[in-house]
């Protein structure tokens, strides 16, 4: 009936309604390892309706940013500089 050395367990589970707040979900999610958080974030973002995505896939935004660089309104920074700025902001928040 069952493979040798294995036992069959039958468990009866009572249906219980558990209320959990979004804050509690967030706290639990932030304790996950980085790879699991990334997978969860991807699944949540993929679950959002497509209407939240730019109709032109961000092309207009890219053109506007390129124009800001071309006109000197903004200055480009390296990836390393950006990472350092992000790290310093996280330390103060």
pLDDT above 60 for 87: yes
Mean pLDDT, the chain, as a whole number?
Answer: 80
User: How many structural domains are present in the chain?
Assistant: 1
Judge whether 58 lies within some domain: yes
Q: Is 2 part of a structural domain of the chain?
A: no
The string of pLDDT tens digits covering residues 32-76 is 999 999 999 999 988 887 665 667 778 888 899 999 999 999 999
CA distances from 82 to 36, 37, 76, 77, 86 (A): 25, 22, 10, 7, 6
15 is a domain residue: no
Domain assignment of residue 32, yes or no: yes
Look at residue 75 and tell me if it is in a domain.
yes
**What domain range includes position 48?**
22-92
78-85 mean pLDDT: 92
């Amino acid at each position: 009936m069952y493979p040798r050395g294995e036992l069959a367990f039958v468990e009866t589970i009572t249906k219980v309604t558990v209320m959990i707040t979004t804050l509690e979900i967030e706290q639990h999610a932030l304790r996950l390892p980085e790879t699991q958080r990334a997978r969860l974030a991807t699944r949540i973002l993929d679950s959002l309706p497509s209407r939240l995505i730019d109709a032109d896939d961000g092309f207009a935004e890219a053109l506007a940013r390129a124009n800001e660089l071309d006109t000197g309104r903004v200055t480009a920074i390296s990836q390393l500089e950006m990472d350092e700025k992000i790290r310093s902001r996280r330390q103060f928040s």
